[in-house]
Amino acid sequence: MIVAAVPMTVTFDRLSPRANTTDRLVFCHFMIGIVGNRQNASDYDDDMKRAKSLGIDAFALNIGTDSYTDTQLGYAYQSAANNDMKVFISFDFNWWSISQASDIGAKVKQYAGLPAQLTYGGKVVVSSFAGDGVDVATLESSAGTEIFFAPNFHPGQGNFSAIDGALNWMAWDNNGDNKAPTPGHNVTVADGDQSYITALSGKPYVAPASAWFSTHYGAEVSYSKNWVFPSDLLWFNRWNDLLTLGPQFVEIITWNDYGESHYIGPLSSPHNDDGASKWVMDMPHDGWLDMAKPFISAYKAGSTSVNQYITDDQLIYWYRPTPKSINCNSTDNTEQGNPNNSSGNFFRGRPNGYETLADAVFVVSLLTEPATIKVQSGNNTQTFSAEAGASAFSVPMGVGKQVFSVTRNGQSILSGTSLKDIVDTCICGIYNFNAYVGTLPAPSTIDKLQPAGLSMLTQGLQVPCPTNTLGTTPTATLGRYAVTPIRRSK
């Protein structure tokens, strides 16, 4: 059966005019807290080069109060300057206090004059994660320079009259209380957009874009948490929404927060393991980078359609590695010990909100001309008629091989079998609700976690767990590695 793609239509209330296309910028949130093992500025070069090649203008460098923060900021600012990128500091108020306005301003002052510092309207750009209630006047006075402060204040909580713009962090539909939607409680991402646009009263809006959210920490760490937000085709749908909305800024969440599974950067990007390797290993996401590139170009050009910015035929696909019905309770890491639930974010077993995710394989086609797409997920096979431009499809998840092909006028254009099968067993003994992302054409190398990024893999596991198995026969299990201590930021 051939199924035609369904055109997407998105409607937004016009609470503010679309931003001028000449100064639209794309940021990407970058976690400094997990990269304390980087040794020099060149360790940032690949990240800077790759982000720049996609059209990302600046990294928002999320910092806490770690002993290595200044060292890593120095490296990041130097690498950005060397690679014609920009960066700015995003203060994480899980670690900073709103009473530290003077200290925050002093930290801004320390880096404000460096060549890679992003400025907007001649002002030094500064942002945050949370921070409602910080004294903005004291912060700016202590910085000793004019700042463009676009924090993650929340409508109804922060003083929006004191800031220059605002970042909305909630890039996922939710229940209004930082969990997945429930019946009668669904705050969509578009609802969040409108709430911020209203609160900003014409000031620039930093709109979020994220592809996924899943976290699964148990008692093996002190920051236990276990929930998902509905994601599925979010990455495709959100970029189409953003083309319609046309905000001044977009911030991608995130480049390298592996712990919450919304990383779009490479697994091989140097970082320490905070316990996330259990669901991140063998789960590359860089296909989402490929998908974003033409959308970023369209957004900056002020277009409401990505189609004319697609220059090559590509297929991007993603899926969870197991059906949500499998039972891993006897070996799952969240079923062990006495986890810390001071945050209220911990749940045993399957992650809170798992019901909001579909057991499906998601496919996005970026085509220069119409073509036929065939997807085989286990024993489920469907064929789709895709128009030129960007289209999205889904196929019910089937256990087994995942095979994809694109044909045009009877000729094979793209074809391949994913390196990751869907299985009905518990990988490493746990519930893994992260996404595996693949592409056609397939990448020339397999993206893998490095030893430091695997250092906590065995903590909390009850069964052996072969490492870096994509494209290989799983034989090796993990040894021990010495790494720099890391922190979790959210």
pLDDT in tens, 443-456: 999 999 999 999 99
Q: How far apart are CA 47 and CA 68, in angstroms?
A: 19
pLDDT of residue 472: 82
278 near 363, Cβ under 8 Å? no
Residue 33: closest CA among 9, 65, 80: 65
- Only one residue has tokens 């204040």, namely 153
pLDDT at 192 over 90: yes
Residue 165 has φ and ψ, to the nearest 5°, of -170, 180
Structural domains of the chain sorted by starting position, each given as residue range(s) with its CATH number in brackets:
25-306 (3.20.20.80), 316-443 (2.60.40)
User: What would the mean pLDDT of 327-355 be, rounded to a whole number?
Assistant: 96
The neighbour count for residue 433, using CB atoms within 10 Å, is 25
Q: How far apart are CA 174 and CA 353, in angstroms?
A: 10
pLDDT of residue 14: 39
pLDDT of residue 20: 63
pLDDT of residue 484: 38
pLDDT of residue 21: 62
pLDDT at 474 over 80: no
pLDDT of residue 469: 95
pLDDT band of residue 473 (cuts 50, 70, 90) is: low
At residue 286's C-alpha, the angle toward residues 281 and 287, to 5°, is 115
pLDDT of residue 234: 98
pLDDT band of residue 12 (cuts 50, 70, 90) is: very low
The two beta strands, 25-31 and 86-92, are unpaired
Q: pTM (2 decimals)?
A: 0.93
As given in the structure block, the two tokens for residue 416 are 């391949």
pLDDT at 479 over 50: no
pLDDT at 17 over 80: no
b/e per residue 74-100 (b: at least 16 CB within 10 A): ebbbbbbbbbebbbbbbbbbebbeeeb
CA atoms within 13 A on the CB side of 148: 17
The neighbour count for residue 296, using CB atoms within 10 Å, is 23
402 near 377, Cβ under 8 Å? yes
pLDDT of residue 138: 98
- How large is the C-alpha radius of gyration of the chain? 22
pLDDT of residue 489: 43
pLDDT of residue 13: 41
pLDDT band of residue 19 (cuts 50, 70, 90) is: low
The neighbour count for residue 481, using CB atoms within 10 Å, is 16
